[in-house]
Amino acid sequence: MINEKGGKLMFAKFQQKYLSVIQRSVQDAYVGGSAAEMSYYTLLALIPLLILLANVIPIIPMDTGQVIQLITDFLPDQVVPFIIPVLKQYLGNVNMGVISLSSIAIIWSGSTGFTSLQRVLKRVYGIDHKNNMIFTRLISFFLAFALVLVVAVFSLLYMFGEAFFQLLEAHISLPEQLVQIISGLLSVQDLWLVLALFLFNSYLYQVVPMPGWHIKYSLIGASVSTLMMYLISTLFSYYVDYFVGQSLTSSTIGVFVVLMIYIYLFCISIVSGALINVLYYRFDHLSDYLREQPAYINRRSSTWEAAEEKEIAYGNLKRMDAPIRFEDNYFSEVGDE
């Protein structure tokens, strides 16, 4: 009997502390809706980005076919029919005006998308995002520029690292042992991909929402998100082949739907990593977090017998016996008892 009571007491404490924190964090994160919001702005910036790439690729001192093949190897098979034809349509017709317009479109859509990303991450982290609009836009622009620069550098290393190294080796004499080590590292492209994704996610979680936390609270979520992204990239083709079917991927609309699913899954991995970071931080500061939460009255209402005080207050429901108001970070009763 004592053991049974002790077990129930331990479970009640666990439920009151940890399960309540998990439930609150998951509700605030709103993983599905947040990922959908991020996916929308990503798709908005996709077409201008493709047009810009198509006009920049011919300028690169490399064979166009080789560049297309590298991009094809990077993308899932079901997404290639949507991306590659757009690139090939503009290849060979370099237009500086189109480059300028595409750059402007990317800056606008990218800035809007980055603001959405920042808003989503701040919502997951529980940070008030009501800041000065101009200041927020400026910070978003510089952070987005730095993020694009990092992604561009690692993308070049991933796709053209071996070619750049061969060009460098032709002009600079390097020790044979160093050449073998660098060649071995560059040949393992998955290693560069995982490293780039990990740094990308670490940057997102530590800088974009600006939580002011120690960097260790960003690394665990970055690791989880990187693993999810790598698995998505690896297993997505199998998912489409076995669960979606060729009938969907054989049409233009079907390919676009597959692309939307692909981007949506990536966004889910980003939001999930942020949620892991938040749970890690809140469990590590559990007493402080619980102390900051508003205290709710659990007494039932005579007019809403099935609803607790928190539900009545959130739903703006009218009470006959005691109206509820939010004051000084807790709910209190006012009126006649």
As beta bridge partners, residue 325 has 332
Give Dmax over CA atoms of the chain in angstroms.
Answer: 89
Start-end of H helices in 126-215 = 133-171, 176-187, 189-207
Query: Domain limits at 76?
Result: 2-292
Are both 284 and 308 inside the same structural domain?
no
Res. 260: pLDDT tops 90:
no
Q: Quick one: 49 and 157 in the same domain?
A: yes
Domains held by the chain: number = 2
Beta bridge partners of 332: 325
Note whether 56 and 168 are same-domain residues.
yes
Higher pLDDT, 298 or 78: 78
Decide the pairing of beta strands 324-327 and 330-333: antiparallel
pLDDT higher for 331 or 45?
45
Residue 277 pLDDT: 94
Are 324 and 266 in a shared domain? no
Same domain, 206 and 320: no
pLDDT average, residue stretch 246-260:
66
Is residue 202 domain-shared with residue 312, that is, in the same domain? no
Same domain, 239 and 90: yes
288 and 299 part of one domain: no
Do 163 and 275 fall into the same domain?
A: yes
List Cα–Cα distances, 195 to 144, 158, 319, in angstroms.
19, 10, 56
Which position has the higher pLDDT, 212 or 6? 212
Q: Is this model's pTM higher than 0.85 or not? A: no
**Average pLDDT score over the chain:** 69
- Do 127 and 26 share a structural domain? yes
Alpha-carbon distance of 261 to 270, in angstroms, equals 14
Structure tokens at 42: 């990503």
Pinpoint the alpha helices (H) of the chain. Answer: 2-14, 20-29, 31-56, 64-74, 80-90, 96-125, 133-171, 176-187, 189-207, 216-239, 246-249, 252-284, 286-292, 309-314
Q: Are residues 119 and 172 in the same domain?
A: yes
pLDDT digits 0-9 by tens, 37-74:
888 887 777 766 666 666 666 666 566 676 676 667 66
From 262, 277, 292, give the residue that closes a domain: 292
pLDDT value of residue 131 = 59
In terms of domains, do 64 and 164 share one?
A: yes
